[in-house]
Structure 1
C-alpha cells in the first residue's frame, strides 16, 4: 500500500507561514553552499501531490508563476471552487481524508505527498492517515502565523527514523508507531 508522507517546512516555533500567509522566510542561516537538496531525493519516491487551494494559489501566483513546479507529479488540489481539471492537475471537492484513502489503495504507484496547507494536514492527522512526517525546521522564530500542529483531537505517537542538519536547518523524519 502507498505511504502518505507529509513533507513540509516550519519555523522553530511551529508555523508553516507567517501571519500574512507568506513563506519568504524559508531559508537557512546564511551560507547557501551548506544547503542539501533534500527535495530532489524525496520527490523520487512520490508520484502524487495533494494540496489545498491556498497552497496551489501561492505556488502559481508567487512561488512559480511561469511553470507548474510539480509537472512530474499527479497533482490534486482540494477546493470548493469550480475549476476545470487538466491531465496534470485535478481540482476536487473530496475531503482530504476520502481522497487519501482512495489514492492509498491504488496499486503499483509511488507514495503520496501532502504538501499543504495546515487544514488539510490537520484533518489527515486527526484520522491518523499520515505514515511519515518529514519536517524541515527553519532557524526562524515567527511568533505568529499558520500553525502546523493545531486542533489535534488525539495524541499521535511517532518514532524518529532520521535527522540531518545543514545551514541551520534541521530535518526530522518520523514514522507512526
Structure 2
C-alpha cells in the first residue's frame, strides 16, 4: 500500500527547520543553509546540483533513498518560494530554475489559487487550496501506486503529523544552533501515534526515523 514519506528533513540541535527572514537570497532563512551542508558533501547531493565529486557512505545512501519509489510530492507554499499573500502574478516559478528536481506532479499547498505550472523535466506544480487529507488523496492518485513524498516546510509537516497522515518520517539532526526560526515539533505534544524506529550517527549528522504505529 502506498505511503506518505518524509525524507532528509534537516533540523538544528535546537529544533529549528529554518532560520528567520526567509527571502529570495535566503530560501531557508538566515543561517538555514547550514542545515544542508551535509547534503552537498555527498555524491548524490553533488549530482543534484550538477557537480562532480562528493563522498560515498551512509549519508549518501540515505539521501538517495529519499527519491526511491516516489510518484508525487507535496510541499507548503513557503518551500515553493518567498512570495506571501495573493500571487501578484505568475512570474515566480520556484527556487529550482527551469528544470525542478521532482519530475512528477507536485502539489503546493496555499490559500491562494493559481493555474498549474508545467516545467521542464516532467514536473508540474499544482497550487491546491484544500485540507491535508484532500491534497494527499490527489497526490496518491497522481502517484499511480508509488509513494508520496512530503517535502516541507515545518508548518506543512506539522499539519500532516497532527492529522496522523505521515507513515515514515526521517529527520537529519545537524550539529548546529540556529537560535530562532521555525520549529518542527511545536504544539504536537509527545507526538502520539509515532515512535522512533532507528537511529544512525555519522560525522556530519544524526539520522532519526519515526514510524506511525
Cα distance change of structure 1 residues 61 and 171 upon mapping to structure 2, 3 Å threshold = farther
1:69 to 101, 105, 125: 101
Secondary structure of the corresponding residue to residue 134 of structure 1? strand
State the aligned residue count.
174
Distance 2:101 2:5 in 1: 18
What do residues 53-97 of structure 1 show as CA deviations (whole Å, max 9, x unaligned)?
110115x77853353121x23200111223210351111111223
Q: Give ranges in structure 1 of 5+ residues lacking alignment.
A: none
Q: In 1, Cα distance between the equivalents of 2:185 and 2:41?
A: 29
Structure 2 gaps, min length 5: 23-28, 43-53, 83-91, 119-123
1:19-58 pair list within 5 angstroms: 19-21=20-22, 22=29, 23-26=32-35, 27-28=37-38, 34=55, 36-37=59-60, 38-57=62-81
Which residue pairs with 2:49 in the alignment? Answer: none
Which residue pairs with 2:25 in the alignment?
A: none
State yes or no: 1:146 paired with 2:178. Answer: no
Distance 1:64 1:165 in 2: 30
2:86 is aligned to none
Q: How does 1:156-167 map to 2 (within 5 A)?
A: 156-167=192-203
The structure whose residues are more often strand, as a share, is: 1
Cα distance in 2, alignment partners of residues 81 and 104 from structure 1: 22
Q: C-alpha root-mean-square deviation of aligned residues, in Å?
A: 2.7
Residue number in structure 2 paired with 1:83: 114
Larger RCO, structures 1/2 (Cα 8 Å, 6+ apart): 1
TM-score by length of 2: 0.70
Query: How far apart in 2 are the matches of 1:3 and 1:123?
Result: 16
**CA distance, structure 1, for counterparts of residue 141 and residue 196 of structure 2:** 26
**What does residue range 55-134 of structure 1 map to in structure 2 within 5 Å?**
55-57=79-81, 63-70=95-102, 72-87=103-118, 88-104=124-140, 108-134=144-170
TM-score scaled by length of structure 1? 0.83
Which runs of at least 4 in structure 1 moved beyond 4 Å after TM superposition? 30-35, 60-63, 104-108
